[in-house]
Amino acid sequence: MDKKTVGIIATIGTALLCGCPGIFLCLFGVISAFGGGTFELGEGSGNIPPSVGILILCLGLLLIVVPVAVGFFTLRKKPQALGSDEPLPPPN
C-alpha cells in the first residue's frame, strides 16, 4: 500500500476510536459542568461537581484533536526538494 492509503486508513481508524468517544465525552462534560450530571455509587449519590465536568470536557477535546492531527501529518503534501538530476536555473 502507498503512504496515502495508509494515511487515510489511520485517519478513519482514529476518527472512529478517538473522535466519536471524544464527541460524547464533550457532550457529557458540558452537561456535567452546568450541573446536569448525577452519580450513584453504592449508598451515596449526588450531583457531579462542575470541576469534574470541565475535566471531562478537556479530555473530550483532546480526543477530538487526535484524528485531526493524524490526518494532517499523514495526508499533507511534503515540499519537494531539488533533485540532483534537475538542472539549476541560469543565473541572472
Q: What are phi and psi of 20, to 5 degrees?
A: -65, -50
Residue 57 has pLDDT above 90, yes or no: yes
Domain limits, the chain: 3-38+47-74
Question: Is 32:52 a contact under the CB 8 Å cutoff?
Answer: yes
Q: At what angle do helices 20-33 and 50-75 cross, to 10 degrees?
A: 160
Grid cell in block for residue 1? 500500500
* pLDDT value of position 81: 64
Q: Summarize pLDDT for 59-91 with one digit per residue, the tens.
A: 999 999 999 999 999 988 777 665 566 677 788
pTM: 0.74
* pLDDT value of position 66: 95
Residue for grid cell 476518527: 15
Rounded-to-integer distance, Cα 78 and Cα 17, Å: 27
